[in-house]
Amino acid sequence: MAAVAVFALLMASALAGAAAGGDIVHHDDEAPKIPGCTNDFVLVKVQSWVNGKEDDEYVGVGARFGPKIVSKEKHANRTRLTLADPIDCCRSPKEKVSGDVLLVQRGKCKFTKKAKFAEDAGASGIIIINHVHELYKMVCEKNETDLDINIPAVLLPRDAGFALHTVLTSGSSVSVQLYSPNRPVVDTAEVFLWLMAVGTILCASYWSAWTVREAHSEQEKLLKDGQKVIVENGGSGGMVDINVASAIMFVVVASCFLIMLYKLMSSWFVDLLVVIFCIGGVEGLQTCLVALLSRWFRPALESFLKVPFFGAVSYLTLAVCPFCIVFAVMWAVHRHFTYSWIGQDILGIALIVTVIQIVRVPNLKVGSVLLSCAFLYDIFWVFISKRWFHESVMIVVARGDKTDEDGVPMLLKIPRMFDPWGGYSIIGFGDILLPGLLVAFALRYDWAAKKSMQTGYFLWSMMAYGSGLLITYVALNLMDGHGQPALLYIVPFTLGTLIALGWKRGELRNQWFKGEPEKVCTHMHMRPLPKNNATSPVDSSIS
């Protein structure tokens, strides 16, 4: 289980900054902005009617040139759609269209040229069918001057465009409505995702601290009974303590893993990630369920059966394991359904809670190194990687671009409930797991030092994490849904709060190096005095 936990931490580190809500507005600094060509790239809804009956809705992208497309459906006109003649509209149409929207194919001429010909023919708009499935950005060239275009232009992907083309060539009457609705400032999905992340760390921290306290209580009991105790990993068997070297290596290896995900991203590779995620999810869900059920089924937990390749396994684990496997398999099979996010979140939360319970930050020094490296890693792969790869590697991997998936499985996600564009709000495992290791350390320290909630560090670190994640979503909405490196905001809040409080209370050095309060040994055994010298004060002091 420890090996699975370490590997899960690695996967989480690889996706430590994928807080996103789906792009709608694109501010492109590379495409030239010149007079008459200054629009932002926006997604556009193309609602169609066939023979007067409402039909399919398609999604395209608006052009850099032309007027801005209205944002509200009620302000958008329903206009007849007409095939251009010639179909590519690279020269003036043969007939006037008197206010219709022209449907044209990509062709070999410039987008602006098509729009000018369509406008001169009397069209009220132009819909261009791309020759590939992807959407291009319709831009202007630097030396263009005739950009007084007064009709909107929309580019549709090939499948959507040819669907309209087929209906038109069949002789049906088609009309369309073009509009680009705005995303709400705050979606309910982000609120629930925030509660999910904070609640996961809260549960994981209490479980981690409780496990350590139980182990220490057992040691105290054995010491009082005069038995010999061998302490391993701070008295908590089965746990893995991170050191400074491993904290740095985590980020290095996570970078290599992220590049591999980026380069190999395809349908078969996502299937491999799904299998790996299911294995980790089964382990996490099983561990959590066994811990929850152990209170009511203590005899089943303490009775063991020898299983080949696995050794001694409790009857409770054997009873829970089939359910966990079936749950993970059912999610994998139905992961393309709209409700599959529920199963993914359950498996993901169980895995995160289990990893935080097994993998530990032993002191503030290691926690600072781990989160500082993750902070730099996050910024690099979300922002700086664009210079070498021409796109944000972290966001591309998180969204599952180049595949038919809605993203890789190492994410928590909730569908956007009141967003007209749909999609999901997502957060990477690393944005919960890595800060969670530090928060769990704070609670273990508080319990060991017998601190109250107000005088301890856990409450403040939880508030710091919640505030940092909240600022992440504020930035996400201010940036029109562009993916944000969550640790850019979470790490300064969480780590800064613990360091500042420790320094103010004079406990920073102890937290930094030892990671636990000073202890006074209450089990020192004095050597008995000789009977004939029991009354001698000098001999007694020497003894």
What is the C-alpha separation between 183 and 371, in angstroms, rounded? 33
If DSSP codes are grouped into helix, strand and coil, which group holds residue 92?
Answer: coil
Would you give the distance in Å from CA 346 to the centre of its chain? 14
225: number of Cβ within 10 Å: 8
Q: Are 529 and 540 in contact (CB under 8 A)?
A: yes
Catalytic annotation present for 431:
yes
Catalytic residue among 345, 406, 419, 431: 431
What is the C-alpha separation between 511 and 495, in angstroms, rounded? 12
| Distance separating the N- and C-terminal Cα atoms of the chain | 49
* Contacts with 496 (C-beta within 8 Å, 6 or more apart), sequence order: 464
| Residue of 60, 38, 29 whose CA lies nearest to 47 | 60
Sign, CA torsion 428/430/435/438: positive
User: Which amino acid belongs to residue 245?
Assistant: A
- Helix (H) or strand (E) segment spanning residue 360: strand 359-360
Catalytic annotation present for 88:
no
Three-point CA angle 148, 153, 156, nearest 5°: 160
Strand pairing report for 359-360 and 240-241? parallel
**Cis amide bond preceding 35, omega within 30:** no
Using CA atoms, how far residue 28 sits from 32, 102, 133, 137, in Å, is 8, 27, 21, 9
Catalytic residue among 345, 378, 406, 419: 378
What residues are annotated to the active site? 378, 431
